Structure 1
Amino acid sequence: MTRSSSQLTAEAIDRFWNDASAHDNTMLELVAISANDGIWGWEVDSGRSYYSRRWWELIGEEPDQMEPHIDNFFALLHPDDRERVLDAQTRFISGEAQEYRVEFRLRHRQGGWRWILSRGSAVRDPHGKAIRLAGTHTDITDRVDASERLERLIAERTKELVAARDRAELAAAATSKFLSATSHDVRQPLQAMALLLGSLQDEQLSAAGQRTLEGVHRSLIASMELLDDLLEFSRLEAGALRPSVGPVNLGDLMQSVVDSFAIQARQKGVHLIVRPTRLKGRSDAQLIGRIIRNLASNSLKFTASGKILIAARSRGPNIRIEVWDSGVGIQPELQRQIFWEFVQDGRTSDVNSSGLGLGLAIVERLSRLLGHRIGLRSEPGRGSVFWVEIPKMASEPAHQGSHGGLGLKMPGLPAGCRIALIENDAEIGEAFLKLLRGWGARVVWARSGESMLSQLANEAPDLVIADWHLDGEIDGFEAFDRLEDRFGYRLPGVILTGDHDVERIKKANRQMRRVLHKPILPDILNAVLQTELRDAP
């Protein structure tokens, strides 16, 4: 009972009541019969009402079976709607509300309820109080039923989506756990192989034997890269990677990438350089490092000679990290496909290059995960430049772990250097012993943290190398903590792990120790240990 779309004028309402009181409402009946809505009228003081034939049809009643009075109207109202309708009428009659519009349910003679939309107009006295009302009732039952069905459908669908999300999260967690276990199991023999190869560096080999050793070394590096690509891509596919965004020192990060590829580039005759920078960005240090390494690896693969430059420059609120090469370049029609998974375009300049075509696909997936833009420019025969943009970090301090150099020739450790090696895998432990002793170190080896504490007694080691997951009650991080508590100062060293779950490592690594991921090449391990000794207090 608010304002109708075909609002009755005050004069028309007056004529209606005059005609109704004189029982001469033929004209009104003609209008009412032709209308699809039920028409009603109400004299406020007396409660006397008028309802058109269509109105009676809405509730399945006959006009002569019920007195047209406001009290009978309220008797037909659903109990839950009466207070709301009465409040709407009271506010409209008093003039507090400027229009009358309310939805409610009326009881049907054959059972059930019909939803009604009521709209009306009023004739008011000089004080603004309504004395007569008239309007329409529209049956909206079908609309309300459809709306309720839609709400039920949405609720059911939402429930299904929540269940699907929960299943996906459980599947992602299970996949992440599986990948972590798989990563550890596969990396262990590779780690032993890398250490054993490293221990052969000082052996007297023939020229043919040296070439064979270098070939095995290259094959090992390729195997490690393939494993990294597969596991990284699998984690991305499973949604098991969760970025940990913070400040990143780009100068240190880019230099670590150059260091890791230095020997490989020198063997190819490629000059690999980094442009120094003090720029600091905001990203996940590990993941953006992976992006830059994949771009550098891609450029090195397709550059037979010349230069590769890694540089960063400011672009407004962002920093663009670029990898330039003088390689074979990319045909224009292939430049969109180059970031697709398993795409190998046959442009390699290196007959020994191999892979699954996942390197740049991982770059694309990681960039999307981090919200970073990537792109490339390339001209066939003249080289390419790949880039990634990250937000700039203007003043917040950044830190970035160091990565050792790569190569077959490694310097020895200081004479008499005493190393505490905590490793529960017998094959890897034996390989470590041979390698570290070949570098001139004295090694105390234990398979658990408790055993190491017992063996060392009160003689502090110069370095600690501890696997994260050990036999016994405590892990590598805790063993490190207890050794430092015993000797009263921070010990140099590293934690080794095949686990790549960043969040789990961060929770375990409360003292921010240097963490290296298996398999770690001997030359990188050597460089890191040299750095740890040099930086020790």
Structure 2
Amino acid sequence: MLQLVAVAANDGIWGWDVPTGRSFYSPRWWELVGEQPGETEPHIDVFYAFLHPDDRDRVLHALEAFIAGGQQDYRVEFRLRHRDGGWRWILSRGAAVRDADGRAIRLAGTHTDITERVGAADRLERIVAERTADLVAMRDRAEVSAAATAKMLSATSHDIRQPLQAMALLLGSLQGETLTDPGGKALEAARRALIASMELLEDLLEYSRLDAGALRPALGPIDLRDLLTTVTEGYAVDARRRGIRIVVRPTALIAHSDAQLLGRIVRNLVSNSLKFTSSGAILVAARARGERVRIQVWDTGCGIAPEMQRQIFWEFVQSAPPAQVDGKSPGLGLGLAIVERLSRLLGHAVGMRSEPGRGSVFWIDVPRHRSGAALQGDAMPGRSDLPRLPQSCRVALIENDPDVCDALVGLLRAWGGQVVWSRSAAALLSRIAHEPPDLLIADWHIDGDIDGFEAFDQLERRFQRAIPGIVLTGSYDFDEIRRANPALRKVVHKPVLPDVLFAVLNAELARSGFPATR
């Protein structure tokens, strides 16, 4: 009966008398190696002779462990040589008869041909390896492309911002000129068109940077009092001109986020509320909610229809036609999409509630800084209504773009400033001699061996005092700016409108204790 089972079995059956080394191999077993039964004396050495050299040590180790009783299951895969010169993959399983000491004295088991299965697994592994290599190559190409795109965006945005900056400053200078009524209206129309162009440019560049993966958050403590005040300053003049109040509720809360990116989110929310509000007020506030801070922007605008509220954070979606927003185009519909993507990048939740005809509230939930202590520094002072610098204010300017430099000099002089300018820090030092400036405006990338941040350091070392002022830049590479700005100088991004520039300069002077503007 056992002989019949051995002949009929699909697997090769083997047996081994351990003390003598004599073995038994079924006809199917001999087929696995391409030999005829009876051609070779059955012995364990026959098996070893067919075993692939690379598998020998592993198989011997498994057999020895199984015989000694240290391994209760015998299951091992290896290759046996076929008569045709090829190799067959075998799955071997066995059982043992043991003596009183637990040592195996007889073994028996089966050999199953798994060559096709192993071949299929190898083919699958090769396919996976090839696909993985393709994906790695695609990832590498994407990273290179993203880096190139980020570099291109940085260079392009700087080149585009320079003429816009010159235009904004020149328009600001013209406000002090005597103009006819039509001329004044034309100047105001040009100013509004420039503002709209600048906003569209900012949205497109920010969206492109997000698509290129060029933004990397740098998390840290943020004094929300300073952030909210600074952000809303940029919209105060336009709001007053339209009869809209912007109110910032005082707060001592400290958030934990990326200051630049969070500032961009709040700016977009305030800008969005201003676009869709024709009268009333905009309230910006921060409220503690357990371990988080909820920053809210409330408005009394036209509101958002219920069917649009789920789509409002989508790209290129506008909640109201231009006729409903004080005749002003609401732009490309990217502002809130940027808010959603930046909040997702930072891991902050964002939301809104709105009632048509009554207004809206947008919010973002930000983690509280763990220490809970207020940061040092006072809130940014209020802005002056009159575009006039303090009397006899000495302003030093370092700017190597001729158009921007001419426009800045003209504007600063129109504001009553005494201006000394140059293209490099070395040239400026030679011009101002031994009298320190009251205010310094330095472009980041200037002529000479040092940049605008280092120019501040050099002037302060020379005069042994802190010099208030700002560094202007058209770059939005925040990581590079942080590395270049260890002293945390005030940075203003081009293009900046004259009203905003004046407010920031006035605030920097006030921080330094300079007499108030008149």
> Which TM-score band applies after superposition, normalised by the shorter structure?
over 0.9
- Is the 8 Å Cα contact of residues 95 and 108 (structure 2) preserved in structure 1? yes
CA distance in 1: counterparts of 2:170 and 2:192, whole angstroms = 14
Match of 2:84 in 1: 110
Residue 278 in structure 1 maps to residue 252 in structure 2? yes
Offset, 1:207: 4.3
For residues 91-102 of structure 1, the aligned pairs below 5 Å read: 91-102=65-76
Match of 1:20 in 2: none
Cα distance change of structure 1 residues 306 and 236 upon mapping to structure 2, 3 Å threshold: same
Cα distance change of structure 1 residues 121 and 148 upon mapping to structure 2, 3 Å threshold: same
Offset, 1:472: 2.4
Cα distance change of structure 1 residues 195 and 322 upon mapping to structure 2, 3 Å threshold: same
CA distance in 1: counterparts of 2:219 and 2:293, whole angstroms = 15
Match of 1:12 in 2: none
Offset, 1:92: 1.0
CA distance in 1: counterparts of 2:24 and 2:376, whole angstroms = 83
Cα distance change of structure 1 residues 35 and 159 upon mapping to structure 2, 3 Å threshold: same
- Is the 8 Å Cα contact of residues 382 and 507 (structure 2) preserved in structure 1? no
Offset, 1:208: 4.2
Larger radius of gyration: 1
Question: Of the candidates 348, 362, 365, which is equivalent to residue 341 of structure 2?
Answer: 365
Q: Bigger shift: 117-126 or 339-348?
A: 339-348
CA distance in 2: counterparts of 1:154 and 1:233, whole angstroms = 35
Question: Of the candidates 496, 504, 507, which is equivalent to residue 528 of structure 1?
Answer: 504
Match of 1:506 in 2: 482
Cα distance change of structure 1 residues 400 and 32 upon mapping to structure 2, 3 Å threshold: farther
CA distance in 2: counterparts of 1:77 and 1:152, whole angstroms = 25
Residue 78 in structure 1 maps to residue 52 in structure 2? yes
Instruction: Write out per-residue CA displacement over residues 31-50 of structure 1, whole angstroms, 9 at most, x where no aligned residue.
Output: 22332221111100011111
Instruction: Write out per-residue CA displacement over residues 436-476 of structure 1, whole angstroms, 9 at most, x where no aligned residue.
Output: 11222211111122211222232222211111111222221
Counterpart amino acid of residue 356 in structure 1: L
Counterpart amino acid of residue 430 in structure 1: D
Offset, 1:215: 2.6
Match of 1:5 in 2: none
CA distance in 1: counterparts of 2:252 and 2:10, whole angstroms = 78
Match of 1:23 in 2: none
Residue 350 in structure 1 maps to residue 326 in structure 2? yes
- Is the 8 Å Cα contact of residues 471 and 492 (structure 2) preserved in structure 1? yes
Question: Of the candidates 288, 298, 306, which is equivalent to residue 314 of structure 1?
Answer: 288
- Is the 8 Å Cα contact of residues 275 and 328 (structure 2) preserved in structure 1? no
Counterpart amino acid of residue 197 in structure 2: S
Residue 385 in structure 1 maps to residue 373 in structure 2? no
Secondary structure, counterpart of 1:63 in structure 2: coil
CA distance in 1: counterparts of 2:380 and 2:187, whole angstroms = 24
Question: Of the candidates 454, 458, 469, which is equivalent to residue 478 of structure 1?
Answer: 454
Question: Of the candidates 443, 458, 479, which is equivalent to residue 467 of structure 1?
Answer: 443
Counterpart amino acid of residue 491 in structure 2: V
CA distance in 2: counterparts of 1:259 and 1:405, whole angstroms = 8
Secondary structure, counterpart of 2:312 in structure 1: helix
Question: Of the candidates 393, 411, 419, which is equivalent to residue 443 of structure 1?
Answer: 419
Cα distance change of structure 1 residues 447 and 403 upon mapping to structure 2, 3 Å threshold: farther
CA distance in 1: counterparts of 2:141 and 2:379, whole angstroms = 39
Equivalent pairs, count: 510
Question: Of the candidates 462, 467, 470, which is equivalent to residue 494 of structure 1?
Answer: 470
Secondary structure, counterpart of 2:369 in structure 1: coil
Q: Bigger shift: 437-446 or 263-272?
A: 263-272
Cα distance change of structure 1 residues 149 and 403 upon mapping to structure 2, 3 Å threshold: farther
Segments of structure 1 that go 5 or more residues without pairing to the other structure are: 1-26
CA distance in 1: counterparts of 2:390 and 2:182, whole angstroms = 32
- Is the 8 Å Cα contact of residues 237 and 499 (structure 2) preserved in structure 1? no
Question: Of the candidates 129, 149, 170, which is equivalent to residue 175 of structure 1?
Answer: 149
Residue 253 in structure 1 maps to residue 213 in structure 2? no
Question: Of the candidates 362, 366, 389, which is equivalent to residue 413 of structure 1?
Answer: 389
TM-score, normalisation: structure 1: 0.90
- Is the 8 Å Cα contact of residues 387 and 499 (structure 2) preserved in structure 1? no
Match of 1:430 in 2: 406
Match of 2:23 in 1: 49
Cα distance change of structure 1 residues 137 and 60 upon mapping to structure 2, 3 Å threshold: same
Secondary structure, counterpart of 1:337 in structure 2: coil
Offset, 1:332: 2.1
Secondary structure, counterpart of 2:285 in structure 1: strand
Secondary structure, counterpart of 2:169 in structure 1: helix
CA distance in 2: counterparts of 1:350 and 1:467, whole angstroms = 36
Counterpart amino acid of residue 269 in structure 2: L
CA distance in 1: counterparts of 2:383 and 2:89, whole angstroms = 79
Secondary structure, counterpart of 2:315 in structure 1: coil
Q: Bigger shift: 196-205 or 414-423?
A: 196-205
- Is the 8 Å Cα contact of residues 37 and 55 (structure 1) preserved in structure 2? yes
Match of 2:516 in 1: none
Match of 1:262 in 2: 236
* RMSD between aligned residues: 2.1
Cα distance change of structure 1 residues 406 and 416 upon mapping to structure 2, 3 Å threshold: closer
Offset, 1:224: 1.2
CA distance in 1: counterparts of 2:211 and 2:376, whole angstroms = 29
CA distance in 1: counterparts of 2:109 and 2:377, whole angstroms = 75
Runs of 4+ off more than 6 Å:
399-407
TM-score, normalisation: structure 2: 0.93
Cα distance change of structure 1 residues 231 and 405 upon mapping to structure 2, 3 Å threshold: farther
Counterpart amino acid of residue 493 in structure 1: G
CA distance in 1: counterparts of 2:418 and 2:237, whole angstroms = 28
CA distance in 1: counterparts of 2:81 and 2:388, whole angstroms = 96
Instruction: Write out per-residue CA displacement over residues 260-319 of structure 1, whole angstroms, 9 at most, x where no aligned residue.
Output: 222222333333222222222221111111111111111221122233222222233322
CA distance in 2: counterparts of 1:137 and 1:535, whole angstroms = 87
Cα distance change of structure 1 residues 137 and 316 upon mapping to structure 2, 3 Å threshold: farther
Instruction: Write out per-residue CA displacement over residues 388-423 of structure 1, whole angstroms, 9 at most, x where no aligned residue.
Output: 12222131665899879789x534222222221111
- Is the 8 Å Cα contact of residues 404 and 528 (structure 1) preserved in structure 2? no
In percent, how many aligned pairs have the same letter? 64
CA distance in 2: counterparts of 1:250 and 1:34, whole angstroms = 83
- Is the 8 Å Cα contact of residues 226 and 380 (structure 2) preserved in structure 1? no
- Is the 8 Å Cα contact of residues 261 and 406 (structure 1) preserved in structure 2? no
CA distance in 2: counterparts of 1:220 and 1:158, whole angstroms = 49
Match of 2:99 in 1: 125
CA distance in 2: counterparts of 1:327 and 1:113, whole angstroms = 80
CA distance in 1: counterparts of 2:6 and 2:142, whole angstroms = 59
CA distance in 2: counterparts of 1:498 and 1:260, whole angstroms = 17
